[in-house]
């Protein structure tokens, strides 16, 4: 299955719109041409494993079109490999082909219903399409298989947060922090940012994280996220003086200094 049926114009607009300042004219914007293939075509004599491995290398190099060629060549030799379908889906996601990516993750799950990462990745597609209820179902399916994954809980929290179901979001985030205190700081080229409907939601999100880390006794991270919440203009910032989760943090000199230097956007 060699999917290249999108038109060149759509490919140009959707996949590779990057802008640079034109040489010699700093006030002129120029569009960079779409990405080209650089790798040799997949060899018909290569095994599925060899093709998959080369696809992994190309994806790590961000040569996504080339990686897709190799994964699809591997799939032709092992059409029931859930792992390969999942990797095809990830690559399609990186290329912003959400519809194709969703189909690929569905196929991965079809061949392995206990494939936790595929459930999670399908949840990400639903999340990006703002189908938060469907995303939550997929994240929960992933957690049934791998309940120790902080990333799954983080994604679950993001979906609940986007639905403005803050209690469930906080519960999921708390579990993510318990499993991995650095879960919100680890990023990769495949990371998906949480979708916030407004600056107020972003500020609320930062405050929730400050509260979680304060409850866990991680003052450094709590101060950092509290500072971000203030910078984003969180209106309920005075909750820190009453919320028992911040009790330990209130004795920290950095807390006193931070609250005394609140930005003008935060009311006294």
At 126-170, the pLDDT tens digits run 999 999 999 999 999 999 999 999 999 999 999 999 998 988 998
What is the gyration radius of the CA atoms in the chain, in angstroms?
A: 22
Strand duo 29-31 + 19-21: pairing:
antiparallel
Confidence bin at 19 (pLDDT 50/70/90): very low
pLDDT, residue 262, reads: 72
Question: What's the pLDDT score for residue 7?
Answer: 43
Torsion of CA 268, 225, 176, 178, to 10 degrees: -90
Q: Calculate mean pLDDT across residues 37-59.
A: 93
Cβ atoms of 15 and 96 within 8 Å: the answer is yes
116 vs 138: CA distance, rounded Å: 9
Kindly report the average pLDDT of the chain as a whole number: 84
Q: Is the pLDDT of residue 194 over 80?
A: no
For position 34, what pLDDT does the model report?
61
| pTM for this predicted structure | 0.74
pLDDT value at residue 183: 84
Minimum mean pLDDT among 3-17, 28-42, 190-204: which range?
Answer: 3-17
Contact yes or no for 157/190 (Cβ under 8 A): no
pLDDT score for 35 = 63
Predicted confidence (pLDDT) at residue 76 exceeds the cutoff of 50: yes
Q: Which residues contact 71 (CB under 8 A, 6 or more apart)?
A: 51, 52, 55, 84, 87, 88, 91
String of b and e for 58-97 (b: at least 16 CB within 10 Å)? bbeeebbbbbbbbbbbbbebeeebbbbbbbbbbbbbbbeb
Mean pLDDT of 97-111: 97
Average pLDDT over residues 49-53: 97
Mean pLDDT across 19-43: 68
Confidence of residue 216 (pLDDT cuts 50, 70, 90): confident
**In the predicted model, is pLDDT for residue 253 greater than 70?**
yes
> Percentage of the chain surpassing pLDDT 90?
62
Residue 28's pLDDT band (boundaries 50, 70, 90)? confident
pLDDT score recorded for residue 264:
54
What percentage of the chain exceeds 70 in pLDDT?
81
Beta partners for 29?
21
Domains of the chain: residue spans and CATH: 37-112 (1.25.40.10)
Q: How far apart are CA 245 and CA 239, in angstroms?
A: 10
Minimum mean pLDDT range among 45-49, 206-210, 239-243, 251-255: 206-210
pLDDT at 81 over 80: yes
- The pLDDT of 103-116, averaged and rounded, is 97
């Amino acid at each position: 299955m060699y999917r290249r049926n999108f038109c060149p114009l759509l490919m140009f607009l959707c996949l590779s719109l990057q802008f640079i300042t034109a040489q010699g004219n700093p006030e002129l914007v120029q569009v960079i041409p779409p990405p080209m293939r650089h790798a040799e075509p997949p060899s018909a004599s290569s095994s599925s494993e060899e093709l998959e491995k080369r696809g992994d290398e190309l994806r790590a190099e961000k040569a996504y079109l080339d990686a897709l060629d190799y994964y699809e060549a591997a799939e032709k030799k092992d059409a029931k490999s859930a792992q390969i379908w999942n990797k095809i889906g990830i690559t399609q996601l990186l290329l912003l082909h959400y519809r194709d990516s969703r189909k690929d993750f569905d196929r991965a799950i079809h061949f392995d219903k206990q494939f936790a990462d595929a459930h999670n990745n399908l949840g990400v597609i639903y999340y990006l399409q703002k189908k938060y209820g469907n995303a939550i179902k997929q994240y929960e399916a992933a957690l049934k298989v791998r309940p120790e994954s902080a990333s799954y809980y983080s994604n679950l929290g993001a979906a609940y947060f986007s639905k403005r179901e803050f209690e469930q979001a906080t519960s999921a985030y708390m579990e993510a922090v318990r499993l991995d205190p650095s879960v919100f700081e680890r990023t990769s080229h495949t990371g998906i940012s949480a979708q916030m409907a407004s600056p107020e939601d972003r500020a609320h999100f930062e405050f929730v994280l400050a509260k979680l880390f304060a409850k866990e006794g991680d003052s450094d991270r709590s101060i950092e996220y509290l500072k971000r919440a203030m910078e984003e203009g969180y209106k309920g910032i005075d909750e820190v003086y009453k919320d028992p989760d911040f009790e330990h943090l209130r004795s920290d000199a950095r807390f006193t200094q931070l609250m005394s230097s609140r930005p003008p956007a935060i009311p006294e």
